Amino acid sequence: MRIEDNFKWFTGVVEDRNDPEKLNRVRVRIFGAHTQDKTRIATADLPWAAVMMPTTSSSNSGLGLTLHGLVEGSWVVGFWKDGGSKQDPMIMGSFVGQNSLNTHVIKNVEGRNSDVTNLAGLAAIQDSQRSRIGFVDPRIPAVANYGDTPEGINPSHNPTRSTGLTLDLDHSPKKDGYDAVNYPREDYLEQSDVNKLGRADGIYDMNLHPNWMIENDPKLQFSEEDRGKWVHPKYPFNHVYESESGHVIEIDDTPDYERINIVHRKGARIEINNEGEIHIIAASGQDVNIQGKDINLNDYGDGTLNINSFNGKINVFAKLATKITSQGPTDIVSSGITKIFSMLDTKIASIGKNIIG
């Protein structure tokens, strides 16, 4: 048998990623191998598919990146490890497309879901399903979610499977203020799956995540001077990673605006702009803690090192000794009562004149 006769590749849609054995597998409904009707082949009856990891990850002993990033609704390509038997799938990668919200399934008089056979019947369809534009016949459901359960009405599960349905969208990661997320997300329908930050055209959009968090909290905002220097991402140069709960990493190679941006889902961020300036900002109302044996804050330029507390207090504490040294004029200015207190001796010495008044 020729290799090309035994190698069988496929495309499909991920329906479950909560692998009970934690082997980095997913369940995929594979086109041409599994019916789109979940009342015939339920998600729990789909085989678990291994996910191929890149060579930059060892996939051994916890080394490298050992978890895939697929979610329910991801479109994937792969091959059957067992060739024509088609029982042991392997996922090679996912691909970007454009999602639309269409209606594909009707309920017949028997209470079952059936494929649409008459396009005129689309007006009567009540279950909205998502499909990838131009990829499958629009009369066939791509990612089904019919009936009273995720498996359709009265699903018949294969008793030979070792595990049932493990999908749990209600407890999947989600951004603050979002309900359980179904993929594709509604704010990405009828457009590219490429992250919106990565699709920018050199214009800062304050309505995109995480920009909206910064814009709605004065304590997180850029100054107008900084805004002009920092935020001009342009497709295809801004490489964006966004997690399900809302963490964002941007590595932006946009010419003249190269920057690195790491944003926590609560708004805290570390950003380095195209000039190498660094901003470290905690989420509103939260602390910034720096700990270490020796901590050095050095200003080697001709600017000013500022330590400001606009609405609070500043405490300087040392268990051994405290020393403040200046090679220029030194001012200690207080608008309130000023106290200098020592448990032992107090020495005030000056090579020049002592002026008190």
Assigned superfamily of 1-193: Nucleic acid-binding protein domain (2.40.50.260)
Q: Look up tokens 């400001």; give the residue.
A: 308
DSSP string, 144-167: ---TTSTT-SS----TT-SS----
pLDDT digits (tens, 9 = 90+) for 111-143: 333 333 333 333 333 233 333 333 333 333 333
Answer positive or negative: Cα dihedral of 147, 149, 150, 155.
negative
pTM for the model: 0.73
* pLDDT band (50, 70, 90) for residue 163: low
For residue 228, give both structure tokens: 């002009």
Cα gap 46→164, rounded to integer Å = 10
- Higher pLDDT pick, 242 / 215: 242
Cα gap 127→145, rounded to integer Å = 8
Q: What SS3 class is residue 171?
A: helix
Q: What ranges do the domains of the chain cover? A: 1-193, 196-281
Say if strands 269-272 and 278-281 run parallel, antiparallel, or are unpaired: antiparallel
Report H helices in the chain: 3-6, 211-215, 224-230
pLDDT at 256 > cutoff 80: yes
Q: Stretch 328-345: mean pLDDT, rounded? A: 87
Range with the poorest average pLDDT among 170-174, 312-316, 324-328: 170-174
Chain-centroid distance of CA 127 in Å reads 29
pLDDT digits (tens, 9 = 90+) for 31-52: 999 988 777 888 888 999 999 9
pLDDT digits (tens, 9 = 90+) for 65-101: 889 999 988 999 999 998 888 889 999 999 998 876 6
Overall fold of domain 196-281 = Nuclear Transport Factor 2; Chain: A, (3.10.450)
Answer positive or negative: Cα dihedral of 236, 224, 176, 149.
negative
Q: Stretch 314-321: mean pLDDT, rounded? A: 88
